[in-house]
Chains A and B, each alone.
Chain A
Amino acid sequence: MSILGIGLLALVAFWLVENAVKNFNQFLLVTLNGITNGSIYALVAIGYTLVYGILELINFAHGDVFSWGAMVTYTIGVSWLGVASKSGVGLFALLLVALLGAAAFCATLNMAVERVAYRRLRNAPRLAPLITAIGMSFVLSNAIAVFYGFNYVSTNPILPQGAIFTIGHQAYGWDKLIVLLITFPALAGLTYVVKRTRWGKAMRATAQNRDAARLMGIDVDRAISFAFGLGGALAGIGGFAYLVYFTQGRFDLGFRIGLFAFTAAVLGGIGNIAGAALGGYLIGFIENFNSGLTWHAPGPNWTESLVFILLILILVFRPHGLLGESLSTRS
């Protein structure tokens, strides 16, 4: 790592320490928020990285699959099952149903997008599937608007309101905790599927060397579909977490979150699943430190710019990200 990089990190570290010292409670809370938001970014980022690893395609529409996850959660959970007015064990059972519904829907949606829009373009010049993905992104997000309108769709708080614990004057409630409760098992489940199951292995093999995988008898189309399905499911879970936490959703949700999640995937090393998760949490921290810390923070107005500048810096100076391998043929 270059002197410049180390210098920057030192500066950031110093800034964090200063803030922690000046207002520890705030710092702690902001960190927790960072982990919470970061979980959602991690879930979505993994979807990007799975698809990029296997197709070398940036699935622009992935963020909008996430939006669908949130909206479907609303429909199943709030509209059909009325979770906003339930409590206790019954509530969690119904939420589970909504969660599974969102995951299944988004998995199917992502696989359908691949089948319809990307499959035919597998041998086309590189830019063609990317442009198609952009088109698909607009289709998916505006399709949400067709069904749900252009305005926010919101619900009464779903989870019990009280704080589980307080830090200073700020409360950490169920709505945030549930995000963690969902994410960690999801990540664990993902790790199991990718490392231990037949389909996970087929997917990884196809990502490493498509022709060799084909020669080994792997159905490459199915492996790719699997990657999309898996990524979609995670996006759906992320969407569920978002809806339950923020209690509202909108058709263009996926744009900002999708771009942040993509940055996370690149930051961690595109194609690397652990990297995507790591990147997700880092972006979560960056977002929350920037808006939550008070000492010399640029402020929430600048969050997007900060994240994009970070993306640009990574791609220019360290395109293989934190955990990826350097694969350049030029030095």
Chain B
Amino acid sequence: MSAWRLPAVRLPGVPESSRRRVNLTLGAAVVVVLVLYPWFYSMWLQNTLTQWLPDTSTAFTILAFTVMGLGLNFVVGYAGLLDLGYVAFFAAGSYVAGWLASEQFPQVSFILGGTAPHGTPGIHLSPWLVILCAAIFSAVLGVLIGIPTLRLRGDYLAIVTLGFGEIIPQFVNNGDNIAGHNVTNGSFGLNGIDGLGFGNSVHSALGFLPANFLNEADSRWYYWTALLLVAITIAASILLRDSRLGRAWIAIREDEDAAGAMGVPLMRTKTLSYLIGAFFGGAAGCLITLQASSTSPTAFSLQVSIFVLCMVILGGMGNVWGVTLGGILLAYVNYKGLYAAGNTFNSTFGTNVQIPEYSYLIYGIAIVLFMLVRPEGLIPSARRRAELHEEEEEEIATEIAEGAAA
């Protein structure tokens, strides 16, 4: 089975080889549209569909959250561990951005390829490096959280992760006075965070590469960075899924005891899923904060963890493409769709219902409905479908066999 196999578009009567070509062409088209989106939006679509299409800043947010969904997919989708505190990694990545790219620590003055002007107090690393540091810090946090947590079963694991998801924001909120040091600036959050950019030297050499993304007219450069991060995360997901580690994760999800008996080291393997999931969650969180230029504890709540979980459920737990699609869809609904729908609703019916306020009512209903009716998600992996439904098994077996023969 090719590692890069896209979900088969079902065209009846079309032979497998042509189907493959159609898939690849469709895939390429999608990529082109995504990359060129900022131009499409500003040049042609803005006037006609501006109500329903997200601007580059919103599109950026959508993609960044999709990265989080893909990150959580390692934990929930592959290893089958219900993590309800994923927001902790978002927070970790976000605050690393604040620590390493703002004036938070004026006692130090350390600039290493940062986008801040010379002589600015505080630590200012190159923001690309900051993203990497955020991801690593978050991964370490994931391992630490995993130590007490991963020895627990199913629902207890869920509750404990939820506990961590609550504790960490509280630490952040109270972090303006940890043994006399202001680490997180408490409820005020961190501000004045540097933007992403290529720096002045690169900009002087190659004019089209901006020195600081924040100075651009719109968020297209952030958007492209997020798109790149999504691609990296998807690649990592697929490469790991079809490897020794991926098989170990799925075995654990299926039957933990049997997996252990077959020589899979349970704690280590589960911790790896946490580590990798946290890595991407931290990267996404950092990226979001570099665009927003500030962060505060109010952004980190259980709702965010559930929101990201919803993406994974919607996408069909474990299915990379499904989670990508589910993530984009759900984030779109949350950051644009509901607002547009609300406006249209209100202007049509002359009401003043703030539909976005009830977003979590809608997501809650969606979760319940999906679990009851279609737990395998929008685009289930063949595997997941087999897991949850008794029918259609022969169909799936044939599909796989065809795929293997091709």
Contacts and interface: CB of A to CB of B under 8 A. Distances in A.
Task: Indicate yes or no for A touching B, C-beta below 8 A.
Answer: yes
A62 to B, nearest CB: 13
Interface in B141-200: 148-149, 151-152, 154-156, 158-160, 162-164, 166-167, 170-171, 173-174
A135 B368 contact: yes
Nearest to A317: B148
B59 interface: no
Interface in A123-155: 124-132, 134-139, 141-143, 145-146, 150
B358 A304 contact: no
Given A134-B306, A302-B170, A139 B365 contact: yes
Interface stretch (A27-35, A232-240, A308-316): A308-316
Given A308-B163, A312-B160, A117 B372 contact: yes
B367 A135 contact: yes
Q: How big is chain A's contact interface, by range?
A: 35 or more
A128 B163 contact: no
A127 B80 contact: yes
Given A120-B372, A126-B155, A301-B170, A134 B367 contact: yes
A143 B361 contact: yes
Given A121-B372, A301-B170, A312-B160, A127 B154 contact: yes
Contact of B155 (A58, A141, A308): A58
Interface in B329-381: 357-358, 360-361, 363-368, 371-372, 375
Secondary structure of the A contact surface, majority rule: helix
B320 interface: no
B224 to A, nearest CB: 34
Contact of B154 (A120, A130, A139): A130
A262 B163 CA distance: 11
A120 B82 CA distance: 20
B361 A145 contact: yes
Contacts of B152: 315-316, 319
A57 B159 CA distance: 12
Nearest to A128: B371
Given A135-B364, A311-B160, A124 B357 contact: no
A235 to B, nearest CB: 18
A56 B154 CA distance: 11
B371 A132 contact: yes
Nearest to B362: A142
B361 A150 contact: no
A199 to B, nearest CB: 26
Contact of B163 (A127, A150, A311): A311
Given A308-B163, A315-B160, A128 B375 contact: yes
Interface in B67-112: 80, 82, 84
Contacts of B162: 259
B148 A126 contact: no
A138 B303 CA distance: 9
A304 B166 CA distance: 8
B238 interface: no
Given A302-B170, A302-B174, A316-B148, A126 B368 contact: no
Contact of B368 (A124, A139, A141): A139
Interface string B202-236: 00000000000000000000000000000000000
B135 interface: no
B166 A259 contact: yes
B215 to A, nearest CB: 37
A131 B371 contact: yes
Contact of A121 (B170, B309, B371): B371
Taking residues whose C-beta sits less than 8 angstroms from the other chain, chain B's interface range is 35 or more
Nearest to B163: A308
A138 B167 contact: no
A121 B162 CA distance: 22
Contacts, number: 114
Contacts of B306: 134, 138
B216 to A, nearest CB: 36
Contact of A137 (B160, B170, B364): B364
B313 interface: yes
A142 B360 contact: yes
B91 to A, nearest CB: 14
A316 B151 contact: yes
B245 interface: no
Nearest to A266: B159
A135 B156 contact: no
B358 A305 contact: no
A301 B364 contact: no
A196 B367 CA distance: 39
B84 to A, nearest CB: 7
B302 interface: yes
Interface string A311-331: 110011001000000000000
Contacts of B387: 125
Nearest to B154: A126
A305 B167 contact: yes
Nearest to A301: B174
A68 interface: no
A124 B84 CA distance: 20
Contacts of B148: 312, 316
Contact of B170 (A130, A262, A304, A319): A304
A155 to B, nearest CB: 24
A132 B361 contact: no
Nearest to A127: B82
A143 B156 CA distance: 27
B163 A312 contact: yes
A255 interface: yes
Nearest to B156: A315
B20 to A, nearest CB: 33
Contacts of B167: 304-305, 308-309
B358 A145 contact: yes
Interface string A276-312: 0000000000000000000000000110110011011
B84 A134 contact: yes
Given A56-B155, A127-B155, 8 more contacts: A117-B368, A125-B387, A134-B306, A135-B368, A137-B364, A145-B358, A309-B167, A315-B156
12 contacts: A58-B155, A126-B155, A131-B371, A134-B306, A134-B367, A135-B364, A301-B170, A301-B174, A302-B174, A304-B167, A312-B149, A316-B160
Interface of B: 80, 82, 84, 148-149, 151-152, 154-156, 158-160, 162-164, 166-167, 170-171, 173-174, 302, 306, 309, 313, 357-358, 360-361, 363-368, 371-372, 375, 387
